[in-house]
Amino acid sequence: MRLRLRIGWVVFSLAGACAHPTTTASAPSPKHEAGSAKTPSKLDDLQAGLQALAHSDYAKARSLLERASAQGTQRTAALLALAQLDLATGRYEQAAAAIPEVEADTTLNAELRLVRVRALRATGKPDVGLALLQALHPADAPVAQLPPADRLLMGELLQELGRKDEAEAVLLTLIDDYNSDRIAENDVEGLGRIGRTAHLLRSPEDANEAYNQAELAGRASNQVLLWRAALFLAHHDPGHAEEVVSEVLAAAPHDSDALVYKARIVLEQAMDFDTARELVKEALASNPRNAGALAVLASVHLRDMQLAQADEALLRGLSVNPRDLELLSLRATREFLADDVTRFEGTKARVFELNPNYTQFFVSVGQFADWEHRYTEIVEMMREAVKRDPEDAQAHAELGINLIRAGSDADGVRSLQRAFSLDPYNVRVFNTLHLYERVIPTDYVFDAGTQFSWRYPRVESAVLRRVVPPLLEQAWQKFTRYYEYVPTTPVQVELYAERENFAIRTSGLPRTAIQGVCFGKTLAAMSPSREEFNLGMTVWHELAHVFHIQLSRGRVPRWFTEGLAEYETLVERREWRREQDPELFQALREGRLPKLGAMNQAFTHAEDVRDVTVAYYASSQIVKMLAEHYGRPKLRLMLALWGQGKTQDDVFQLALGKTAAELDAEVQDYLGKQLERYKTQFLPRERVGDRAALVQQLELAPRDVALRVRWALLQLQSGNADQALSAVNEALKIDAANPDALFLKAQIALGHGDATVAQATLQRLLDLGFDGYRTQLLRARIAAASEQLGDVKDALKKANAFDPNEAEAVFELLDFEQGDERIQGLSALADIDENRAETYRELSGLLLDKGDVAAALRVAESGVYADAESPAAHVQWARARWKSGDVRGAEFEFQSALACPGHEQELAEAKRAYEDFAKATGRRLRTLPPP
């Protein structure tokens, strides 16, 4: 039984197969084979040309269709197809031209009319296109008598022109066709048009149901599939959007619009700028004037703050269609990011002159304001958006999410509830409302304050209240002194026990890889209950961002604020440093670290999460260099200058008296000296790079040893050890002395349990002079497999000598160390691995036994920040404070130990230790109230 569409009536699921909204927003749709029917043995020029056009083989299609257009019986059909081809390839003026022979054909005229109107629309003449459609019927004749495809296009044009009520009246005639059973159940294209119509009328459930029916009826056209992709993307479901776009590209791999959708999808899924740029390049190769492709290209440049390049893309697009609303919104975004208020307001006025209802303008600018930390301005924009269009669900959603980010939870939830009432299929809205209405009220507690407000998981609140506030109050005192600035208060600090809840709090979606985030006035982080990380380091880092973002008014570049927050942690505690010198050296050696003026790209163009961590580390080392060479006050001045709207180049010149190029040379020299030790040791390849590009490169250069080694490494990382060994052996046939191939072969042999081959291969590597930390670490592994313990220790010591900041060798050497030697090893490990709580506990105990109370105090405190909910960690700090004479502090930590949830054995031991303390000091035992 078919559903009757009633615009405005909605139920829960966006996907027809779901019964309720979920964090994925939709269920998989039925699948069918892409492509056309079996090709006949011989096709005439017209048939072959149409087939080539359908498969996006545009050069072949043009040749065949031009030939067919010279033939009498096929001429009109070929001319129509050539117009469609002109539209697909950006020859809009040719596509918009009248073709009398085709117009005289009553069968083909309707299709030509649609081509002409779309071409007029693409060149900024939707009003002319609308007039062409309206000329089809007398003014007093019902619009419903027009062909359905004409009515749908007319509705879209009216919406684009801001004539909302007229558009709705036209579009509702299509809905009436459906409700009156004038669309057959097997009419794939008709049902697809209903799906598009319902989407335009803001009824996503009806839209999706119509698309489901169309899909069951047969293979939909590429246009219908792309309409469906637009629906999925609008509701933050890039996974299902990718499914339908992939189906289009399987049939028409050079379809420009499909390639643009694919680019939008990869940006939505993973902010993969490099892939998006390649897809745009492909799209523009098919259609150099595709406005969507140029919009995506401009957006990538804007993310990188490459404003000149963004201008170029926008100019190209607007020269084709000067009234393209997305391109104009991106131009306004460029002016917003450059703090060009006058031009921004002018472009904004132009957008709303063209379409008073285009509140997507605010959403578009707001996405980039979010990227640049300008959260307060997002709230202001979204308030204007919902004032202009109270029925805009997306604007209400963005307003609600950003109000919550600003710490206005109650107002934010109200805006989200309004968004949900208008559109219950926005995944971010549903997830965030569920978190704030169902989870937080029962599972979390909130402590209001004047300087800070706090949200804790209820079962962890007793201990977290004793750890986090004192730490951040210390940070607050230091930061207000360093930056000579007091942020807006209260700063809201939120800790989340479940990663899914934390991810939804930060993005509305259930997955994220980060441990903490700052929104300018609020910060959120994981609690330590389920994951091993350093809570103290994380919240210190995020609070630093509060000062950076507010002092700079959100204008601070990403690389600088991340580097400066990392710098604040590394100067606060020795162990709060990243140890990624080898990765940084490799990035510099391979030319993967951008110049200082483009440093943001180290974050936006990272191939994987390892590249992002290197970007953090590189930024911290650059800021460290600036602090050492120019002084901390200059860092504060740079933030203030950004807050005045200065460009990055101006900030460098005014604060430091240097150009970006001069500073870049200084950075290169500084890092070169810092990383000197790696110039004389072997660092094996660890990165594979892009797999698709690697396959292509290997086809072009099959005897390139470096490429073969990368392929072997890819196989090994994918768990295909046999294929990896085969690839390595092929590489060694070409170059028997290649160090990367030898290293990989030794690794693979060890993994296969063949210590003899592993040892012989590694010895060959050493004989050739390729020694270093990784070589000696592998030597230790091989020796351990042969139970040659003396060689294990010797190799680990040599590895440590090559790189004292690498934790693995230090940790494994502990098996051979006792007494003072073990204390030294644990001390070294404690300084380079901030997450290993066991190290701090053992080391603080040994230091106390030795009588070094001052050192034990510092180490035990570090242990609490590494494992804030471990009773044993608090007991160790309590003992150290007791030994130092701080009885009150010791009592506080014994009580903190007993406030930790779980850990029954540790709690029993903590209770006995507290009782011993109370007996020895004559203090009364106190218990904390339950959370």
Strand duo 491-496 + 522-526: pairing = parallel
**What predicted TM-score, i.e. pTM, was given to this entire model?**
0.86
What pLDDT was estimated at residue 607?
A: 65
Distance, first Cα to last Cα, the chain: 54
Alpha carbon 753 to its chain centroid, in Å, reads: 40
Confidence bin at 657 (pLDDT 50/70/90): very high
Given a cut of 70, whether residue 614 has pLDDT beyond it is yes
Given a cut of 60, whether residue 23 has pLDDT beyond it is no
Percent of the chain at pLDDT exceeding 90 = 81
Confidence bin at 271 (pLDDT 50/70/90): confident
Q: Which residue has the tokens 């492509």?
A: 35
Pure H helices in 599-720: 601-604, 609-630, 632-643, 648-651, 660-674, 691-700, 705-717
Enclosing H/E stretch for 126: helix 126-134
Which phi and psi angles does 492 have, rounded to 5°?
-95, 125
* Segment 623-655, tens digit of pLDDT: 999 999 999 999 999 999 999 999 999 999 999
Enclosing H/E stretch for 447: strand 444-447
Confidence bin at 41 (pLDDT 50/70/90): very low
How far apart CA 50 and CA 624 sit, in angstroms, is 63
Given a cut of 70, whether residue 35 has pLDDT beyond it is no
Given a cut of 80, whether residue 284 has pLDDT beyond it is yes
Enter the DSSP assignment of 144.
G
Q: Where are the beta strands (DSSP E) in 733-875?
A: none
For the chain, the average pLDDT equals 91
Pure H helices in 20-74: 45-54, 58-68
Pure H helices in 435-527: 440-443, 461-483, 499-507
Q: Which residue has the tokens 């209260």?
A: 490
C-alpha distances out from residue 833 to 129, 574, 676, 872, Å: 66, 10, 22, 19
State the average pLDDT over residues 383-411: 95
Percent of the chain at pLDDT exceeding 70 = 94
How far apart CA 864 and CA 470 sit, in angstroms, is 13
> Which is higher by pLDDT, 33 or 453?
453
For residue 447, what are the β-bridge partners?
454
Given a cut of 60, whether residue 21 has pLDDT beyond it is no
Burial of 70 from C-beta contacts in 10 A (0-12 / 13-18 / 19+) = exposed
Confidence bin at 921 (pLDDT 50/70/90): very high
What pLDDT was estimated at residue 606?
A: 66
